[in-house]
Amino acid sequence: MPIYNAPLKDMDFILNDVFKADEFWQANENLAHLDVATANAILEEMAKFSKNVILDLNRSADESGGAQFNLGEVKTPEGFKDAFNQFAQGGWVGLGAPEEWGGQGMPKMLTVLADEMIWSTNPSFMLYPLLTVGAGMAINDRASQEQKETYLPKFYTGEWSGTMCLTEPHSGTDLGIIKTKAEPNDDGSYNITGTKIFITSGEHDLCENIIHLVLAKTPNAPAGSRGISLFIVPKFLVNGDGTLGERNAVGAGSIEHKMGIKGSATCVMNFDGAKGYMVGKENEGLAGMFVMMNYERLSMGIQGIGASEYAYQNAAQYATDRLQGRAATGVQSPEKPADSILVHGDVRRMLLNVRANNEASRAFAVYVGQQLDITKYSTDAEAVRKANDRVALLTPIAKAYLTDTALQATLEAQMCFGGHGYIREWGMEQCIRDLRIAQIYEGTNGVQAIDLIGRKTIKCSGAFVAEYMAEILEFSNTMPDSTLKQAVVNVCGKVEALTQFVVEQSKSNPNFSNAVAVDYLHVVGLLSFVYMFARIHEAARVKAEPFYQHKLVLADYYVAKVLPDLAARAERIYAGADLIMQLPQDYFTAQA
């Protein structure tokens, strides 16, 4: 059976030793109510819930076929409803939500760690509250006071849930061509008509009401994305006293049959003149929805961390128990018929790759979470500006790089099992199937890379990257001389040159940025991870316990064995776009 034990000690180290969370919280009057003891207690409780309540449901939901659809209704897998009730009653839905609406007001740098544990143990389950939290953020940011009062408290008690409805059969990344219409009524409401696909948690039996956030176009709206508005469309209309009224004209037409996350209902939603209520201003809906989407994109990165951590723990345990062959240096366990496969260099290589990814990814998620907390809570205008720029730059890294490296890590963890990794009972094949979607939804990783290189780099002539590297170099100046410090400085120099090259080439070759975007994203990802290892190294080197000293070795391993990938990525960027764009379009469909 698969195992999972929350990495609480590493979480505490990252939070408190690397990023000095307690100092950060106490320095901000809006966060001073939180201290290390409270934060650790929250993480310990989430560790118990994740392991004891939802871990076993992950496999049973997958094997039973997941969410089931019948005549417009969705039944979640056995055990999900009870688990969700426990989750809601524990206050977990509103862990990071504003206290004024019934949330607990916890900072993002803490909630990313709580989220990781749920992603590790049951990603299908996580998707139900995840969309609710995102919808709540969009409503809190854009909606009227009356709308906030109507919907937000119910979200955070878990009585109601939320969705986001963007994609249509013909319209994925290009939302400017959506066809869903919003016809105004005399009472200020709108009739919403259209079909949305790939709607996570669009229909289910966990809550008494589902609140859909829907992108649609009003009559005579401007063409393209400038003409998109955002609407609240409840499954059940809400009466003036807050009770539920009649069923709205919205329902699930079917659910998708997917590769993974089978316990999560992915729905085709039909809006047949459903009553909706505009959120914010007309034709400004996309900006409102992106409040939600940027939150979801960081969450996808955390999904990657969760999967990779789960994969590592199971692979390391298997490698410890599996006896095959003898160590190249001589017998290590003479009392046994063979040595553990941990004596073999290739197995260690794979496990070290996975662990290095996990520790750097976790630190990076907390770092981005801290930047988000600065934007939300700081009263220093310049600090807020810098943090906003940093979040803009790093959101595509958090979504795409963390999920790209996580899938590679889970594949390497699976390889440690040999043939057993391909067998369902060991849990690895489900882990890989469930994780694959993280590279696809909320904007594919290729789209994230294009966003990074275009809007976040070329558009500002590399200013966001330059300011980020200035922070990294400033930190490196506090480090004693070491191979790691030199690596940080060298990488910054290479990324500076690459960024200048990217900005210049984009001026003369319109195909250039799109063709090299993924490689550039990985370059900035590698820069970010070596920065995280520098911060980990500096926090760990002053402590003598093996737990901390081993982190120094892992940092050196990363520099020697993983970071060299940057050179190959750089060569591909310098090679440009010409060879990619040279062949005619019909080459790709011509018979061999």
The CA dihedral of 349, 350, 351, 356, to the nearest 10 degrees, is 80
Buried b (16+ CB within 10 A) or exposed e, 427-439: bbbbbbebbbbbb
Long-range contacts of 148-155 (CB under 8 A, 24+ apart): 148/101, 150/238, 150/242, 151/211, 151/232, 152/97, 152/98, 152/101, 152/102, 153/101, 153/102, 154/209, 155/93, 155/94, 155/97, 155/101, 155/211
Could you give the C-alpha distances from 463 to 52, 460, 467, 469, 510, in angstroms and in order? 47, 6, 6, 10, 20
What pLDDT digit, counting tens, does each position of 567-591 carry?
999 999 999 999 999 999 999 998 7
- The single residue of 149, 442, 496, 571 carrying the catalytic annotation is 442
Q: What DSSP letter does each residue of 125-149 carry, written as one string?
A: HHHHHHHHHHHHHHHHHHS-HHHHH
pLDDT-based confidence at 367, cuts 50/70/90?
very high
Nearest to 376 by CA among 391, 362, 396, 393: 391
* pLDDT at residue number 238: 98
Are residues 252 and 275 in contact, defined by beta-carbon separation less than 8 angstroms? no
Dihedral angle computed from the Cα positions of residues 37, 42, 44 and 47, in that order, rounded to the nearest 10 degrees: -160
Asked if residue 298 is part of any domain, the answer here is: no
Number of domains the chain contains: 2
Structural domain includes residue 296:
no
CATH code for the domain of 127:
2.40.110.20
The overall average pLDDT reported for the chain is 96
In a domain, 352, yes or no: no
Residue 309 is assigned to a structural domain of this protein: no
Q: pLDDT tens, 316-359?
A: 999 999 999 999 999 999 999 999 999 999 999 999 999 999 99
Can you tell me the distance from the alpha carbon of 12 to that of 429, in angstroms, rounded to the nearest whole number?
30
Can you say whether the dihedral through the CA atoms of 147, 371, 106, 361 is positive or negative? positive
Query: Tell me: the pLDDT tens digits for 172-191?
Result: 777 778 999 999 999 999 99
Residue 101 falls within a domain, yes or no? yes
- Residue that finishes a domain, picked among 238, 262, 289: 289
> Of 255, 289, 323, which marks where a domain is finished?
289
pLDDT score recorded for residue 591: 79
SS percent in the chain: helix, strand, coil, step 5: 60, 10, 25
Token pair of 507, please? Answer: 């001026």
Q: Residues 82-134: pLDDT tens digits?
A: 999 999 999 999 999 999 999 999 999 999 999 999 999 999 999 999 999 99
List pLDDT tens digits, range 139-157.
999 999 999 999 999 999 9
In tens, the pLDDT along 391-413 reads 999 999 999 999 999 999 999 99
Instruction: Give the number of other Cβ atoms within 10 Å of residue 169's Cβ.
Output: 11
In a domain, 395, yes or no: no
What is the share, in percent, of the chain residues with pLDDT greater than 70? 100
Residue 561 vs residues 81, 352, 441, 556, 564: alpha-carbon distances, Å: 45, 10, 30, 8, 7
How far is 505 from 497, CA to CA, in rounded Å?
12
pLDDT mean over 216-234: 95
Asked about 442 being catalytic, the answer comes back as: yes
H or E stretch including 274?
strand 266-279
pLDDT at residue 99 in the model: 95
**Last residue of one domain, picked from the residues 241, 262, 289:** 289
Strand 209-216, strand 160-165: pairing = parallel
Residues 6+ apart with CB under 8 A from 52: none
| Residue 163 located in a structural domain | yes
* Residue 558 per-residue DSSP state: I
Tell me whether residue 270 is in a domain: yes
Taken as a whole, the chain contains a residue count of: 592
Report pLDDT digits (tens) over 271-328. 999 999 999 999 999 888 777 777 778 999 999 999 999 999 999 999 999 999 999 9
C-alpha 266/C-alpha 200 separation (Å) is 5
Amino acid sitting at position 367? Y
pLDDT, residue 592, reads 65
> Between 245 and 30, where is the model more confident?
245
Q: What is the mean pLDDT of residues 432-436?
A: 98
Q: What is the mean pLDDT of residues 427-435?
A: 98
Q: Give me the domain span that covers residue 80.
A: 8-289
% residues pLDDT > 90 (the chain): 94
Q: What is the DSSP string of 482-529?
A: -HHHHHHHHHHHHHHHHHHHHHHHHHH-TTHHHHHHHHHHHHHHHHHH
- Per-residue pLDDT reduced to its tens digit, 40-83: 999 999 999 999 999 999 999 999 999 999 999 999 999 999 99
